[in-house]
A = this chain, B = another copy of it.
Amino acid sequence: VFLAVLDKHFAMLEQPRLKGKKVVVTAGPTQEKIDPVRYFTNHSSGKMGYAIAEQAQREGADVILISGPTALPCPKGVKRVAVETAQEMYEAVTGQFADADIVIKAAAVADYRPKEVFTEKRKKQPGEWAIEMERTIDILKTLGEQKQSQLLVGFAAESEKVEEYAAKKLEAKNLDLIVANDISASGAGFKGDTNIITILTRDGKTKQYPLLSKQEAARRIFDELLDYMKRQQQS
């Protein structure tokens, strides 16, 4: 048994599961300017996306990491493209999409941005201020519509009805796999080093995981994705 485990281990090292594949990973938040000082953003740390990029690289893939502003160092062997806004993220991702094999959208892209961006710092004024927001481009939906042979993976970070929303999103965005996590659960979510994920695939499988490090979660995502790929080839 021990030798079998060792064999399996070395087989894995010798035959990286994603060798020759181009994997595009997005990570981090976006920042949407109101003026030169103020902006909208969200609590994504980028850790989950960076862990996925690192894991893909370890599995032998050519990895492009398209990242919003984070404090994280670029994983070794990974090519990072830095972006700031949802619009820049959209352009960077679609520019890498045509020849990608797998696209994993772990970034928390703003779905709204201010309609008006002030070029000078807006002075305080008496009374209230209604900031008019407009929708940004839905990157995942666009990719789902454009997709040919690419495998598309999305995230659903929710604070309620997590699996229900995730299943709807998988369908609506034409994804192959979605990683759902309840950001209101302790140990899960944006800022920490751990996550509690549920993985749903297009062919109707659902798998819940216990608390994992973001590195372990990244590994499980590729396990599920590779299993899904095998099932697709067999069917």
A38 — nearest CB in chain B belongs to which residue? B42
Chain A: residues with Cβ within 8 Å of the partner, total of: 35
In residues 130-162 of chain A, which contact B (Cβ within 8 Å)? 130-135, 157-160
Partner pick for A39 among B42, B134, B158, CB 8 A cutoff: B42
Q: Tell which of A37, A112, A121 has the most Cβ of chain B within 10 Å.
A: A37
A9: interface (CB < 8 Å): no
Q: In the complex, are the beta carbons of B38 and A121 less than 8 A apart? A: no
Contact B39 A120 (CB under 8 A): no
Q: A36-B183, A190-B37 are in contact. Are A135 and B131 (CB under 8 A)?
A: no
B128–A115 CB distance below 8 A: yes
A129, CB-defined interface residue at 8 Å: yes
Contact of A134 among B111, B112, B128 (CB under 8 A): B128
Taken together, the copies of this chain in the complex come to: 2
Of the residues B36, B112, B127, B159, contact of A159 by C-beta under 8 Å: B36
Residues of B within 8 A of A128 (CB): 115, 132-135
* Given A129-B133, A131-B131, 17 further pairs, Cβ under 8 A: A36-B43, A36-B159, A36-B183, A37-B157, A37-B190, A38-B40, A39-B42, A71-B71, A111-B124, A115-B128, A121-B160, A126-B135, A127-B135, A128-B135, A129-B132, A130-B131, A130-B132
**A-B residue pairs in contact (CB < 8 Å), sample of 17:** A37-B42, A37-B108, A37-B159, A38-B40, A38-B42, A38-B110, A39-B40, A39-B43, A112-B124, A112-B129, A115-B128, A120-B160, A121-B158, A121-B160, A128-B134, A128-B135, A131-B133
Q: Which 4 A-B pairs have the closest CB atoms?
A: A129-B133, A130-B130, A131-B131, A121-B159
